[in-house]
Amino acid sequence: MNALLVVEDVHKRYGKEEVLKGVSFQVEKGETKVIIGPSGTGKSTLLRCINRLTEPDRGRVWLDGVEVTSPKTNINRIRAQIGFVFQDFNLFTHLTALDNVRLGPMRVKGMKKDEATRLAQEELARVGLADKADAYPAELSGGQQQRVSIARALAMNPKLILFDEPTSALDPELIGEVLQVMIKLAQEGMTMVVVTHEMGFARSVADEIIFMEKGVIVEQGPPAQLFSSPKHPRTAEFLRKITELYGGEG
């Protein structure tokens, strides 16, 4: 198995509702995979099943050859290698930007304080927020908060970062700054799985796009092919709707 991430036949049900009905895909090292699809389709659930923030009912996940879903695996060790960027940021409210970024390295990886501080400053600089190190989350704009949360994920030196609609909670004028950071990461070779409605980003950055609906992958392929000649009528319809909704391709 040489793909960095392998997801195999993942199922998840909440009560009567089967949210994921057997989802499989692979992500190669350095690849950017974009997942699109209507809301309520199970995209967030799928991302959370990958690092078991949500426990899948069935199916298996491997990261770099290690089975994430095995009961013998120390899940905290795995999570430390998978960055997660939330739609609503979830920065730690009581900590400054700098403390947010260095908490993980210090507490999870046992890094020394001055080393973690240096690392955190570097990561903040990487997302263009070196001057906001001492600000509390409430003192930052949404776009800045999301960039700090990306820095927080980066500071763990992850093998893979999962983005769950990272720009959906942002005012339109703040979306660009976050996307720019993500584009830069993709160019630097970071492996990423991104759930998003930003079709412009998907088209220009994704190596492959996955279209999901009602808990299954309907279609996947490189952006050029998927956007210009979708095989499945559902994909075509979704792309038409999303273009109407978000006004062009950004």
Ligand X SMILES: Nc1ncnc2c1ncn2[C@@H]1O[C@H](COP(=O)(O)OP(=O)(O)O)[C@@H](O)[C@H]1O
Least distance from C-beta 40 to Mg ion, angstroms? 8
Grouping H, G, I as helix, E, B as strand and the rest as coil, residue 109 is coil
Q: What CA–CA distance (Å, rounded) separates 65 from 241? A: 39
Instruction: Name the binder of 93 from ligand X, Mg ion, other proteins, none, CB < 5-8 A by kind.
Output: other proteins
Token pair recorded at residue 23: 């989802």
Residue 235 interacting with ligand X (CB under 6 A): no
Which DSSP helix (H) or strand (E) runs through 84?
strand 82-85
User: Measured in whole angstroms, how far is the alpha carbon of residue 126 from the centre of its chain?
Assistant: 18
Identified binder of ligand X from the candidate list 24, 28, 30, 40, rule CB under 6 A: 40
Q: Which residue is nearest to Mg ion (CB)?
A: 44
Buried b (16+ CB within 10 A) or exposed e, 134-163: ebbbeebebbbbbbbbbbbbbbbebbbbbb
Name which of 19 and 120 has its Cβ closer to ligand X: 19
Least distance from C-beta 214 to other proteins, angstroms? 25
Q: Is 110 left (phi over 0), alpha (psi -120 to 50) or beta?
A: left
CB atoms within 10 A of CB 2: 9
The single-letter DSSP state of residue 3 is: S
Site string for ligand X, 42-71 (x = CB under 6 A): xxxx--------------------------
Residue 196 interacting with ligand X (CB under 6 A): no
Bridge partners for 5 per DSSP: 27, 63
Least distance from C-beta 80 to other proteins, angstroms? 3
Q: What CA–CA distance (Å, rounded) separates 82 from 104? A: 12
Instruction: Name the binder of 45 from other proteins, Mg ion, ligand X, none, CB < 5-8 A by kind.
Output: ligand X
- Give the residues lining the site for other proteins (CB under 8 A): 51, 53, 76-84, 86, 88, 90-94, 103-104, 107-108, 136-139, 149, 152, 156
Residue 19 interacting with ligand X (CB under 6 A): yes
Residue 14 interacting with ligand X (CB under 6 A): yes
Least distance from C-beta 127 to other proteins, angstroms? 17
List the interface residues with Mg ion, window 1-60 (CB under 5 A): 44
**Phi and psi, residue 2, nearest 5°:** -110, -5
Residues that bind Mg ion (CB under 5 A): 44
Residues that bind ligand X (CB under 6 A): 14, 19, 39-45
